[in-house]
Amino acid sequence: MRLWGGRFSKDPDQLAHEFTRSLPFDQRLAEHDIAGSIAHVRMLGHCAVLTPGEARKIEAGLERVRAGLSSGELTLDPESEDIHTEIERLLIEQVGAVAGKLHTARSRNDQIALDLRLFVREEIDSLRDHTAALQRALVEVAEKHLDTVMPGYTHLQRAQPVLLAHHLMAYFFMVQRDRDRLAECRKRVDLCPLGAAALAGTSFPIDPSFVAKQLGFDGLCPNSIDAVSDRDFILEFLADAAIAAVHLSQLAAEIVLWSSTEFGFVRLDDAWCTGSSIMPQKRNPDGAELTRGKAGRVFGNLMNLLSVLKGLPLAYNRDLQEDKEALFDTADTVSASLRVMRGMVTTASFDTQRMADALSAGFPTATGVADYLVRAGLPFREAHGIAGQIVQYCEKEKIGFEQLSVEEWRSFSAEFGEDIVKRISPGGAVAGKVSPGGTAPPQVKDQIARARKLLES
Ligand code: ARG
């Protein structure tokens, strides 16, 4: 069956058919297509474009198609051109020729735009749930590690002591931005394009607001030409998802690094590791590696659609059919990555001793030494220089700050007192970082309280 063909004298070439059909991937939109059709046919009845009897009959038929597809009683004909054709074919099987009235005042152009908006809206809600679940996991682990001190890094060099909780909360706020961005995007997705028909609108006395209300849309697309060609809402979703994939990839990269023997900061649960076929000792963080690796396809999907759209004249062009696989792939990949990261984070155990040991080398409290002298009245530049000399001295002697006697400290500056010993302890350094958002325990507790509020809202 074809939704067109009246003006054609022969069937399409088999290759042409295969090249242009979309059923292999757009069948995923079946549920949304049926929901959109039910809303549309109710509206046609409501506006007396169809008789109440016709509208009721078609709606009942669509409900039977929906039930039949979900129970497996009905199956899609794999040869069909697209999901719209296929649902209509199944509807004819149910209700006969009256099914042909469903397409009144509608085109596949506004129909596919509608299906896609319904799909993206649902995916946004689901991804937002998954981001919240990951955030909850991060907060829970952070709360358990409010007194675990570890080296914070810049340039992947030990920089300054921070709380593990602080480090984990950084990811919380990154993911929060992802969740917020998706909510922003949702506003622009949440408009109903139905009624645009092919591009110009329709001469039937329809009520697009009626359809929009049935489907829970916030409003209507304001211009019918734009309504059938706009894919910005998909682009925006792909872009937001790509940024989320960056964050997930960064978290994943850190898990890979931290679970290495070299770092040893984290031990992943057996359920989240895989072994090697040759090296019996291996416990590989594949879930994290694949999350990192799969970010690539998520970025590619965005580039893909940007390229599809950039040269298109208005309004609908068949090129737009190429939006779907990129969209589906990104939705699935980011959803899976969020769930995998959550699983790995909740079940991981952190080696707090390894983290403490890592603080004993690399002089991560050197900034504290400089700050100490600044408090005593020295300009920061001068203090920085003295602290640098002490680091050099310790390196030469192969000792840490904690092995210096007070006399040795004083040989670098008379300003040093007994309390320098406490100030250069990692715990002391952390406790001192009381600026808002900083790593001192009360500041991190503040961040956690803020996070809890964000998760409630
Ligand atoms: N398969 C098409 C797509 O995904 C549906 C819309 C087709 N419209 C048309 N005029 N051929 O974009």
- pLDDT of 2 over the 90 cut: no
7 vs 396: which has the higher pLDDT? 396
User: Would you say the pTM of this structure is higher than 0.85?
Assistant: yes
Task: Delineate the domains of the chain, giving CATH numbers in brackets.
Answer: 14-104 (1.10.275.10), 109-193+224-357 (1.20.200.10), 360-456 (1.10.40.30)
Q: Best substitution site from 106, 109, 328 to test ligand 1's pocket, by max atoms within 8 Å of Cβ? A: 109
The tens digit of pLDDT for each residue in 165-216 reads 999 999 999 999 999 999 999 999 999 999 999 999 999 999 999 999 999 9
The tens digit of pLDDT for each residue in 77-96 reads 999 999 999 999 999 999 99
Residue 276 known to be catalytic: yes
Q: How far is the CA of 332 from the centre of ligand 1 (A)?
A: 23
Catalytic residue of the set 276, 349, 360, 411: 276
* Residue 321 in contact with ligand 1 by CB distance below 6 A: yes
Residue type at 26 in one-letter notation: D
CB-based contacts of 216-224 (< 8 A; 24+ apart in sequence): 217/117, 217/190, 217/191, 217/192, 218/187, 218/190, 218/191, 219/190, 219/191, 219/192, 220/191, 220/192, 220/195, 221/113, 221/191, 221/192, 221/193, 221/196, 224/110, 224/195, 224/196, 224/197, 224/199, 224/200
Kindly report the number of other CB atoms within 10 A of residue 255's CB atom: 24
Q: How far is the CA of 22 from the centre of ligand 1 (A)?
A: 8
The tens digit of pLDDT for each residue in 215-262 reads 999 999 999 999 999 999 999 999 999 999 999 999 999 999 999 999
Catalytic residue of the set 71, 155, 277, 457: 155
- pLDDT of 385 over the 90 cut: yes
* Residue 82 in contact with ligand 1 by CB distance below 6 A: yes
The residue whose C-alpha atom lies closest to atom 2 belonging to ligand 1 is: 321
Q: How far, in whole angstroms, is CA 457 from its chain's centroid?
A: 19
Q: What is the mean pLDDT of residues 298-308?
A: 98
* Residue 108 in contact with ligand 1 by CB distance below 6 A: yes
